[in-house]
Structure 1
């Protein structure tokens, strides 16, 4: 029963992660930690191992959803690879930092990070697409009204922000999509669909980089990863399909409530030092 739950969890995380450009780690990391405390047949998963396992699983979510988005021609792959220039060293720094963060501090920091994610989800429906930066890289596209629009960014700014995003994604095992998507839309003027699709390619690249670092550190639970991967793969494709066909307003609302409750719980545990 417990292993079936892991497969379902992978499917849910992959679907929501692909649909919203979040990657799914915000579901996998807390679930792995909590499942170990609820079922005797599942060993307790330390936060660092939960983060490493989550990143490894996100490789498959990322490549599955990215392939689907590439077919939809909504991925700005040149920008994704540029952002990866900053994300790669950031993921290494995140793994190093994870060795010095104890369980209570991890709960507290993870909870605070999730509050930031909740805030981004509340703002997401009201995010106004920026015009991008006038100097540096520029892209153009045809919007829904048939008019040509442009967006852009300065490579130095994009890479600097990517270092921080990579650090956060590796430390918490969440992929960084909650930060990538708002940055792309508000600062760089990306259209929403392109931001989500490009975010999944960025998440895939950062997951590969972060997983290598976590693998060296011994932070991957292989049995749990194997149970999560099938659901994550199909969830990545399902989320990309839903992004194209369905409104995500209700799903975003559900995620807001779920993440808020989880965030408050982790912050409380981090402050009080109470167990799960």
Structure 2
């Protein structure tokens, strides 16, 4: 029975994660912590929940990336540029976590994510950060409705902003996609489909690197991980399929709703902690 519950959690978290580019950890971690309080399940510490979740996200990222590659929605060049900033930023953020009072920070960060979700509502009225087309990265994309998008950014600006996003994500352990997807949509005006697929491509190497640390520290519950992985692989395929069938505005609406849930959770943790 425990295995069935864990497989279903893996499917649900991974479906949602790959649909909007968040990876699924935002659901897996609280679900594992809750299960750890029930009879029949092993006691679960936050560290083991995070480590086990990150390990399963390797398979969510791999499955999603392979599927998005077929649909040609992954912007590899932009993703690798963002990783130059977000990789070191997330490592530094994880290190700084040890030095901070996280309770008040969680409240402020939750309020910040609420603000991001409100800004996503007003997205149409925003203008992208200006960049020189002769020196920046230019991309075009046509979505499933036939609508064409042109977007781009300065590589240096991309690295700096993704480093800040990675740093904040590392501090809070909310997963880079929680902030990187809205950043790509709001700051660099990525089409939502491309932002989601590129985020999942970035989640793959970052979750591998983070998992190595957690495996060394003994923060992975292998029994739970083996139950979650099949669900994560299947769920990622479902999420990608749904993403290709849903239009851009719907993806932004779903993303906004999830950001509100993440924000409320962070504020709650800050107040109760």
Q: CA deviation at 1:46?
A: 1.9
Cα distance in 2, alignment partners of residues 110 and 7 from structure 1: 30
Equivalent position SS for 1:159? helix
Structure 2 residue 111 is matched with structure 1 residue 124: no
Equivalent position SS for 1:30? helix
| Pairwise CA RMSD | 2.9
Aligned to 1:245: 245
Aligned to 2:131: 134
1:94-145 Cα offsets, whole Å, 9 max, x none, are 44345567xxx66765566555445544543542374343134322315468
Range with bigger deviation, 199-208 or 218-227: 218-227
Aligned to 1:216: 216
Cα distance in 1, alignment partners of residues 77 and 260 from structure 2: 35
Structure 2 residue 242 is matched with structure 1 residue 269: no
Cα distance in 2, alignment partners of residues 111 and 232 from structure 1: 30
Cα distance in 1, alignment partners of residues 161 and 256 from structure 2: 27
Q: Is the 1:95–1:214 contact (alpha carbons within 8 Å) kept by the matching residues of 2? A: no
Cα distance in 2, alignment partners of residues 151 and 172 from structure 1: 29
Compared CA separation, residues 122 and 12, structure 1 to 2 (3 A):
farther
Equivalent position SS for 1:58? helix
Cα distance in 2, alignment partners of residues 29 and 106 from structure 1: 17
Cα distance in 2, alignment partners of residues 46 and 98 from structure 1: 17
Equivalent position SS for 2:36? helix
Cα distance in 2, alignment partners of residues 201 and 232 from structure 1: 15
Aligned to 2:195: 195
1:194-249 Cα offsets, whole Å, 9 max, x none, are 11111111112221222222223332222222111111111111111101113546
Q: TM-score, normalised by structure 1?
A: 0.82
Q: Is the 1:140–1:148 contact (alpha carbons within 8 Å) kept by the matching residues of 2? A: no
Cα distance in 1, alignment partners of residues 10 and 23 from structure 2: 11
Compared CA separation, residues 83 and 142, structure 1 to 2 (3 A):
closer
* Matched ranges for 1:1-276 at <5 A: 1-37=1-37, 39-98=38-97, 113=109, 116-128=112-124, 130-135=127-132, 136-143=135-142, 149-246=149-246, 248=250, 251=254, 255=258, 258-259=261-262, 262-270=265-273
Q: Is the 1:18–1:61 contact (alpha carbons within 8 Å) kept by the matching residues of 2? A: yes
Equivalent position SS for 2:123? coil
Cα distance in 1, alignment partners of residues 86 and 141 from structure 2: 29
Cα distance in 1, alignment partners of residues 184 and 258 from structure 2: 21
Compared CA separation, residues 142 and 99, structure 1 to 2 (3 A):
closer
Cα distance in 1, alignment partners of residues 85 and 24 from structure 2: 21
**Structure 1 portions without partners, runs of 5+:** 271-276
Q: Is the 1:75–1:197 contact (alpha carbons within 8 Å) kept by the matching residues of 2? A: yes
Q: TM-score, normalised by structure 2?
A: 0.83
